[in-house]
Amino acid sequence: MKVTVLGGSAAAPNPGQGCSGYLLECGRTSLLVDCGPGILPSLLRYRRLDNLDAIVLSHLHQDHVLDIVPMRYALKYAPALHRRRIPLWVPPGGSLFLQRLAQVLALGSEAADSFFAETFEIAEFDPQSVLEVLGWEIRFHPTRHWIPCWALRVTCPHATVVYTADTGWDDTLPSFAHGADLLIAEATLPVESEPDARSGHLTASDAAVLAALADVHMLLLTHYWEPLDEANTRALVHRSFSGSVLIARTGLIVDLGPKGEMQ
């Protein structure tokens, strides 16, 4: 499996980097996990939209979904693209969310009822079930966040990636992430944040403890605000976690093949 960071900023873009978005590729198949604002130009460096196999959204906060809108316009109007509907898996309530968003965006010039449906095959995932998509197996785990949100455990042959999405500390997360080749963990809050401020997000130190308890091979810190002191952050993380530590930057590629290469 190959994982490409398309954006790793928190609730608003950092300089030169969009919000949440990760391209996962296994063999010839591709999966986009989250579609936050500013990730579409990065995605287009690696995949044509008509060659994207599926999209999964962890939750409905704007920093994880908004580039669905320009993607819709590209799929509908870009003359060079083959017309096809991309499977779009949304959390429970996501269909209604998209209907309401379409009512705002259609502006009377397009049909709101088909605004997204003509470019995406929209379906709500069942968090209690395993989602199987073109050889991918995706499991879900509810997180501790301001709105319903799900962590994802994505497996293709020979590799597993766990993505925390947005979450505060949860004692059940280590078992969900256990043994993953790569843990993509949010690190939104400054380390000095008060404990009662952490109900919806993690610090880098929290992410490190999670990685250690889950016994993952590699930790990728994401969903952070700039400026970020990388050297200090790595030092803090290594107090708890002895594995490889990466920090999400647009264009970072992690190859989870036998050699576990990073580009």
Give the model confidence (pLDDT) of 201-247 as tens digits.
Answer: 999 999 999 999 999 999 999 999 999 999 999 999 999 999 999 99
Q: Which residues contact 88 (CB under 8 A, 6 or more apart)?
A: 54, 55, 57, 68, 116, 120, 121, 122, 123
Is pLDDT at 259 greater than 80 in this prediction? no
Is 224 within a domain? Answer: yes
Average of per-residue pLDDT across 1-16: 97
Burial class (CB in 10 A: 0-12, 13-18, 19+), 212: middle
What's the whole-number mean pLDDT along residues 29-48? 98
What pLDDT, on the 0 to 100 scale, is given for residue 13? 96
Binning pLDDT at 50, 70 and 90, where does residue 196 land? Answer: low
Q: What average pLDDT does range 118-126 have in this prediction?
A: 98
What's the confidence (pLDDT) of residue 88? Answer: 99
Question: Which structure tokens are listed for 161?
Answer: 């990636």
Average pLDDT rounded to a whole number, residues 145-156: 98
The pair of three-digit structure tokens given for residue 39, joined into one six-digit string? 């990730």
257 pLDDT tier (thresholds 50, 70, 90): confident
pLDDT at 263 over 70: no
In a domain, 242, yes or no: yes
Q: What is the DSSP string of 80-136?
A: TSPP-PEEEEE-TTHHHHHHHHHHHHSTTTS-GGGTTTTTEEEEE--TTS-EEETTE
How much is the mean pLDDT over the chain? Answer: 95
Residue 7 in any domain: the answer is: yes
Domain holding 182, by residue range, is: 2-255
Mean pLDDT score, 95-107: 97
Residue 83 confidence class, pLDDT cut points 50, 70, 90 = confident
Q: What percent of the chain has pLDDT over 90?
A: 90
What is the pLDDT at residue 108? 87
**Which has more pLDDT, 145 or 158?**
145
53-75 per-position pLDDT tens digit: 999 999 999 999 999 999 999 99
Query: What is the reported pLDDT for 261?
Result: 54
How far, CA to CA in Å, does 124 sit from each of 90, 92, 113?
5, 5, 17
Beta-carbon contacts of 241 under 8 Å, excluding residues fewer than 6 positions away, are 208, 209, 211, 212, 219
How much is the pTM?
Answer: 0.96
Question: Does residue 263 form part of some domain?
Answer: no
Question: What is d(CA 222, CA 246) in angstroms, rounded to the nearest whole number?
Answer: 9
- Band (pLDDT 50/70/90 cuts) for residue 146 is very high
Residue 197's pLDDT band, with cuts at 50, 70 and 90, is low
Average pLDDT of the segment spanning 152-165: 97
Which residues make beta-bridge pairs with 22?
5, 33
What pLDDT, on the 0 to 100 scale, is given for residue 86?
Answer: 98
Q: How far is residue 16 from each of residues 42, 192, 207, measured CA to CA in Å?
A: 11, 26, 24
Q: Is residue 159 part of a domain?
A: yes
Total domains present in the chain: 1
Residue 262 domain flag: no
Domain CATH for 91: 3.60.15.10
pLDDT-derived band at 192, boundaries 50, 70, 90: confident
CA distances from 25 to 54, 133, 160, 194, 239 (A): 11, 12, 12, 38, 32
Per-residue tokens: 1: 């499996």
Does any domain span residue 145? yes
Residue 260 forms part of a structural domain: no
- 142 has a pLDDT exceeding 80: yes
Residue 38 pLDDT more than 70? yes
